[in-house]
Amino acid sequence: MERLEQFIKQLDFTVVLEWLDKMIIIITQLLLDSGIDIPEEYRPLVALGIIYLGATLVVLLSVLLLLKIFRKSKKSQPQITPEAEKEPEVAAPEEQPEAEVEETAVAEAEVLTAEPEPELEAEPEIEPEPEPTLSVFERFKRGLSKTQSSLVGRVDSLLRGKAVIDEDLVEELEEILITADLGMQTTQQLISSLEESRSRGELESADQVRQLLMAELRQILQVETKQLDVDSASPFVIMVVGVNGVGKTTTIGKLANQFAQSGKKVILGAGDTFRAAAAEQLQIWGERAGVEVISHAEGSDPGAVAFDAAKAAVARNADVLLLDTAGRLHNKVNLMEELKKIRRVLDREIPDAPHEILLVLDATTGQNALIQARLFNEAVALDGIALTKLDGTAKGGIVVAIAAELNVPVRFIGMGEQIDDLRPFDPEMFVSVLFDTAK
């Protein structure tokens, strides 16, 4: 206290007062010069007010300036952060808009007498980095999550808390299997097995029902046919067929990338000369996979593309030729006849070609996919099936229906639009993922 009193006593306010006085005179003079006449007695007050306002303004401006400097230095900070922290900024632009197409649940009749459809946009340019942390099992699990809940999820909630497996429960199971797109035939087969086990007294717990379903599904999915072995011929010719919009071109792009990655020389043939921009779309995929694309002008003969692509594949010593085809043609042209013609052209140029006729089916179309598979199989004898868009559908049960009814193996499943979203179909893993039993 004493020290403070001493300090105040020592203060010399006369300097401050003198300075203020000078300021008041200057401000008053300035006001008079600019024609503002203020009564004498108020002049010091107004001058003091102006000094106060000026001082406040200076303080405010200083604060704003400081804030600006502070923000600037914060913005420039990432430049000196370590690499790892910069990554999200670099990765963000790689999220690209997806090319959208209309729904393509095309029925049997529509396949043959199809109208020209709206154009597809070009394919996405850059794919995001694959997530390295996910195991193959986890990726399957994520891709099949909707199918899992529509099939096994519902079976599990039906079985939950059930002490007895009676006729009513089996009936309810039947309904679940049908609505999960397993198809009539497959459902009947599964239900008869369940009934048989029940009559033998072997079906007394929920777990036994699960085990039996798993065993039956595994057996149905094991289609005994020749494997897809691209080393068995050179060039190995894969002709890709399917109705419009199912994912033929995308699947070809993904396959081309996989083959090229494994060191094979790949050539693509743009056999879809009907749809506008189809060749360009394939060209983009070709660039992404780093492989050559043989194409002709829009509207030209697809047989001629097949011929040129086969010639190029032989001349360039290619290991694999992947030929795209149209999913729709002009009204009067028969799609199946056109495919047969392309097949003949390939066979003339390369012995036994095409070595694989791969049908692409869109899983989201459910039972329609099964109808398409029957139709194409009758017309051109399919060797394998690629089932796309499993990621966006609860109708993945269609895999089982296809295997059971057609005896044509599902070779690949598509679980996304990106280049590495096509996976070989593994029946064992499929069942494990659905029943969530594998680690």
User: Least distance in Å: CB of 392 to ligand GTP?
Assistant: 5
* Residue number, 323 or 415, with CB nearest to Mg ion: 323
Which among 389, 392, 381, 387 is positioned nearest to 402, based on CA atoms?
387
Instruction: Report the interface residues with ligand GTP, using CB under 6 A.
Output: 99, 101, 120, 242, 244-250, 272, 275, 278, 327, 360, 388-389, 391-392, 414-417, 421
Q: Counting contacts by CB under 5 A, is residue 258 touching Mg ion? A: no
d(C-alpha 128, C-alpha 137), whole Å: 20
Q: Counting contacts by CB under 5 A, is residue 249 touching Mg ion? A: yes
d(C-alpha 361, C-alpha 66), whole Å: 63
Stretches 158-166, 243-251, 373-381, 389-397: which one binds Mg ion (CB under 5 A)?
Answer: 243-251
* Residue number, 183 or 245, with CB nearest to ligand GTP: 245
User: Least distance in Å: CB of 208 to Mg ion?
Assistant: 46
Contact present, 176 and 158 (Cβ < 8 Å): yes
User: Least distance in Å: CB of 120 to ligand GTP?
Assistant: 5
Amino acid in the structure at residue 93? P
User: Least distance in Å: CB of 414 to ligand GTP?
Assistant: 3
Which among 270, 251, 269, 282 is positioned nearest to 419, based on CA atoms?
251
* Residue number, 272 or 319, with CB nearest to ligand GTP: 272
Beta strand residue intervals within 252-355, DSSP E = 266-270, 292-294, 320-324
* Residue number, 210 or 341, with CB nearest to ligand GTP: 341
Which among 245, 264, 223, 209 is positioned nearest to 384, based on CA atoms?
223
Contact present, 212 and 195 (Cβ < 8 Å): no
User: Least distance in Å: CB of 315 to ligand GTP?
Assistant: 26
Tell me which residue has tokens 């070009």. 122
* Residue number, 214 or 277, with CB nearest to ligand GTP: 277
- The item of Mg ion, ligand GTP, none sharing an interface with residue 302, based on CB under 5 to 8 Å by kind, is none
Sheet hosting strand 384-388, strand order edge to edge? 292-294, 266-270, 320-324, 236-241, 356-362, 384-388, 410-414, 422-424
Contact present, 368 and 326 (Cβ < 8 Å): no
Amino acid in the structure at residue 228? L
* Residue number, 380 or 401, with CB nearest to Mg ion: 380
- The item of ligand GTP, Mg ion, none sharing an interface with residue 349, based on CB under 5 to 8 Å by kind, is none
Stretches 11-19, 21-29, 248-256, 394-402: which one binds Mg ion (CB under 5 A)?
Answer: 248-256
Contact present, 359 and 385 (Cβ < 8 Å): yes
# of chain residues touching Mg ion (CB under 5 A): 2
d(C-alpha 352, C-alpha 354), whole Å: 6
User: Least distance in Å: CB of 83 to ligand GTP?
Assistant: 32
User: Least distance in Å: CB of 388 to ligand GTP?
Assistant: 4
- The item of Mg ion, ligand GTP, none sharing an interface with residue 417, based on CB under 5 to 8 Å by kind, is ligand GTP
Stretches 143-151, 191-199, 242-250, 312-320: which one binds Mg ion (CB under 5 A)?
Answer: 242-250
* Interacting residues with Mg ion (CB under 5 A): 248-249
